[in-house]
């Protein structure tokens, strides 16, 4: 089975919550409108940014169903359906299949870990089979799963045994392996770059598509990086990437992942806070963050939020 490769930016979306930490599903149509208006090509839902490990199966099902209504030919929805529980992955893959979204994604189990590529493929196969019409992407993120297997071997085995296997969401810093994955079998598979702060490095190694959390609020910045790279203006592309590095470096100061949702709030798109155990920013911290972002000049490149 052959799937169209993705080019451009896919936003790893936040799961929107209300003030009581309940899903705010009504916000999703506006969310999609904002992404499209900022030239984002799709949504990667229920992933790390979407707090997959902090949301229930029922909540993930609701997110899949609601985001499925936003899918169009030029706006693809991909849902991460697995964590450490294969049966839940199968259930959510079936829901994704019924909803008719473009693709599903599966990460390596991060509690009882897979020690070999063979084990990993065997874990994924029944999940993939539950969504036979969807493109299946493996979500390679060793920094969180602590599973760092040979992705060339994975492409070989998964490509032979999983009919709807499409490629890899590659969130790792091994640029040599990433490039080799792109060139594997004459570029047969879709390998999406997943590290926002080194997006330019991914482009230099051959990436055409990228998935990231900061594309939610800074898509104009990354679209410019793509444009400058294609134009051959590497000096300007590097300067823009350095801005990305500088504002992402602020995450450590303000408590990590929660910083992203705080920036969404600052630009005028409130999708709530992260759930425990992620730190929440208080009003004074958000104010301090805004000042630092202003000093960097980030708001020149942040997303425009549609009215209404």
Residues belonging to the active site = 139, 169
Tokens 């425009």 belong to residue = 304
φ/ψ (deg, to 5) at 212? -160, 155
3-state secondary structure of 43: strand
Residue 36 labeled ligand binder: no
Q: Residue 146, SS3?
A: coil
- C-alpha 50/C-alpha 80 separation (Å) is 9
Q: Largest Cα–Cα distance in the chain?
A: 54
Q: What is the DSSP letter of 5?
A: P
Length of the chain: 308
Tokens of 84: 């450490």
Residue with tokens 């898509």: 219
Torsion of CA 179, 183, 184, 189, to 10 degrees: 90
Sign (positive or negative) of CA dihedral 23, 278, 299, 243: negative
Distance of CA 85 to the CA centre of its chain: 20
Q: Is 117 annotated as a binding residue?
A: no
Measure CA 201 to chain center: 17
**Cα distance between residue 97 and residue 131, in whole Å:** 5
Q: Which residues are annotated as a binding site for pyruvate?
A: 49, 211
Binding residues: 49, 211
């Amino acid at each position: 089975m052959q799937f169209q490769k993705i080019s451009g930016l896919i936003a790893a979306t936040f799961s929107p919550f209300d003030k009581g930490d309940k899903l705010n599903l009504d916000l999703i149509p506006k969310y999609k409108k904002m992404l499209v208006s900022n030239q984002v090509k799709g949504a990667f839902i229920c992933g790390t940014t979407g707090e997959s490990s902090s949301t229930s199966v029922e909540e993930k099902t609701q997110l899949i169903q609601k985001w499925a209504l936003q899918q169009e030919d030029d706006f693809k929805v991909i849902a991460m359906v697995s964590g450490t529980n294969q049966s839940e992955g199968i259930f959510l893959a079936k829901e994704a299949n019924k909803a008719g979204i473009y693709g599903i994604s599966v990460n390596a189990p991060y509690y009882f870990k897979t020690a070999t590529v063979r084990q990993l493929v065997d874990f994924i196969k029944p999940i993939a089979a539950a969504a036979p019409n969807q493109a299946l992407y493996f979500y390679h993120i060793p920094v969180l799963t602590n599973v760092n297997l040979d992705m060339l071997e994975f492409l070989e085995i998964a490509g032979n045994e999983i009919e709807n296997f499409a490629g890899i969401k590659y969130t790792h810093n091994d640029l040599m392996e990433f490039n080799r994955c792109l060139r594997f079998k004459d570029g047969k598979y879709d390998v999406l770059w997943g590290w926002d702060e080194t997006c330019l490095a991914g482009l230099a190694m051959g990436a055409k598509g990228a998935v990231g959390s900061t594309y939610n609020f800074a898509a104009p910045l990354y679209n410019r990086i793509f444009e400058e790279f294609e134009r051959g203006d590497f000096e300007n592309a590097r300067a823009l990437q350095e801005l990305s590095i500088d504002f992402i470096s602020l995450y450590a100061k303000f408590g990590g992942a929660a910083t992203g949702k705080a920036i969404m709030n600052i630009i005028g798109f409130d999708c709530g806070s992260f759930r425990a155990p992620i730190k929440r920013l208080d009003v004074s911290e958000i104010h301090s963050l805004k000042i630092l972002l202003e000093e960097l000049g980030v708001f020149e490149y942040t997303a425009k939020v549609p009215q209404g």
